[in-house]
Amino acid sequence: MARIVDWEAHIGRRLKLRDLYVFFIVIQSGSLARAAARLRVSQPAVSQLIADLEHVVGARLFDRTSRGVSPTIYGQALLERGRAAFDELKEAMRHIEFLSDPAAGEVKIGCQEAIAAILPPVVEDFCLRYPNIMLGFDEEAVDRFASKLRDRTLDFVLQHLRVPPHGGDPYFDGLHVEVLFNDQLVVAAGAHSKWTRRRKLDLAELADEPWILATPDSWNNRILTQAFRKCGLPLPKMNVRTFSTHLRSSLLGSGRFIATFPRSVVDFYAHRFGLKVLPIELPAEPWPVAMLTLKNRSPSPVARLFMDHLRKSIAHPTRSAANDLAR
């Protein structure tokens, strides 16, 4: 590969943003034909543009096979750095829009349903202050939140972490983790349940009750399993399996079911659904609620506005419901 001495002049004269955009589309599509279809141009046009781009950078960017194309080590390097450059340009445009109208824009947030369930007071207050800012919540792809952050399709993520963040965990590679508060797992029942009248309660007494649980690999079930094993008991029979906060809260209102919740959720929904925390001791493991952002990437001005508003709402709640969020 030939060494290019004057990189700035070389890039300025020969490397076009359109070329990088097509390069990204080819990687996403996995083939020149599919990329051409997405771009609504001919395949020879895409092939020529990639060939020209390879000539400019002085290296082969793709390996061609009968099944399509895949980036070489040079292509991967251009993808990582080029995507960051595109991201910075996009943020520059968003910043320009913000400067022209500081109270308008869009914030894209990855957020677990249990956390979203306790955000209404924070969101309502923010929307009253900034009516022209749109908040978009993605609650359906928890397992892909980190990849969506890296792909720049989310501004930040709000998430319960299974364990406190630590070095060496690949999930957090390239991510900045800010713990907002530590939540706690509790056992709850409806106000009409016979168990809510008890001041002392042993977990073994609830073993044969109808339980609402999450999936076996969830943090909730792991902690509950530890508690039952400590009592020499198997995990109780699951009558309903769901992560839905609203469904669990509604079912508990009948007084028939038992369920686990984050304490922040029970506190928030206690009045609406008549939920009460039962006097059950569970293993005291930290359950951080964290805000995840990309390292070395400045959030957009409107994203920073909401992030700062969220921090202040937790640190200095002005409404009873917002106070529940920080418990």
- Per the rule left: phi > 0, alpha: psi between -120 and 50, beta: everything else, 204 is alpha
State which of 83, 115, 137 marks the end of a domain.
Answer: 83
Residues 168 and 292 in one domain: yes
Residues 78 and 118 in one domain: no
Residue 92 in any domain: the answer is no
Residues 149 and 210 in one domain: no
Residues 14 and 153 in one domain: no
- Kindly state the tokens that stand for 263: 């304490």
How many distinct structural domains can be found in the chain?
3
pLDDT for position 316:
59
pTM (global) more than 0.75: no
Residues 200 and 267 in one domain: yes
CATH number assigned to the domain comprising residue 35: 1.10.10.10
State which of 57, 83, 109 marks the end of a domain.
Answer: 83
pLDDT for position 145:
85
326 three-state secondary structure: coil
Residue 94 in any domain: the answer is no
Residues 199 and 210 in one domain: yes
Residue 202 in any domain: the answer is yes
Residue 18 in any domain: the answer is yes
- Kindly state the tokens that stand for 134: 């749109």
**Based on C-alpha coordinates, what's the Rg of the chain?**
25
Residue 93 in any domain: the answer is no
Residues 232 and 305 in one domain: no
Q: Token pair 């009409």 is at which residue?
A: 192
CA distance 38 to 160: 37
Residues 258 and 307 in one domain: no
**Cβ atoms within 10 Å of 262's Cβ, excluding its own:** 24
Residue 89 in any domain: the answer is no
Q: Token pair 């445009």 is at which residue?
A: 93
Residue 1 in any domain: the answer is no
CB 282 within 8 A of CB 227: yes
Q: Mean pLDDT, consecutive 10-residue segments, the chain of 327 residues?
A: 51 73 90 91 91 86 88 89 78 70 82 90 93 88 80 89 73 87 92 90 90 87 89 88 89 90 88 90 86 86 91 66 42
- Kindly state the tokens that stand for 275: 């939920």
Closest by CA position to 81, among listed 7, 157, 178, 158: 7
Which residue segment(s) compose the domain that 215 sits in?
185-277
Residues 192 and 231 in one domain: yes
Residues in the chain: 327
State which of 239, 255, 277 marks the end of a domain.
Answer: 277
pLDDT for position 13:
61
Residues 169 and 218 in one domain: no
Residues 53 and 115 in one domain: no
CB 164 within 8 A of CB 286: yes
Residues 6 or more apart in contact with residue 18 via CB below 8 angstroms: none
Residues 262 and 205 in one domain: yes
CATH number assigned to the domain comprising residue 224: 3.40.190.10
pLDDT for position 72:
92
pLDDT for position 8:
57
Report the largest interatomic distance among the alpha carbons of the chain, rounded to a whole angstrom: 79
Q: Token pair 């824009």 is at which residue?
A: 105
Residue 95 in any domain: the answer is no
Q: Token pair 């094993």 is at which residue?
A: 229
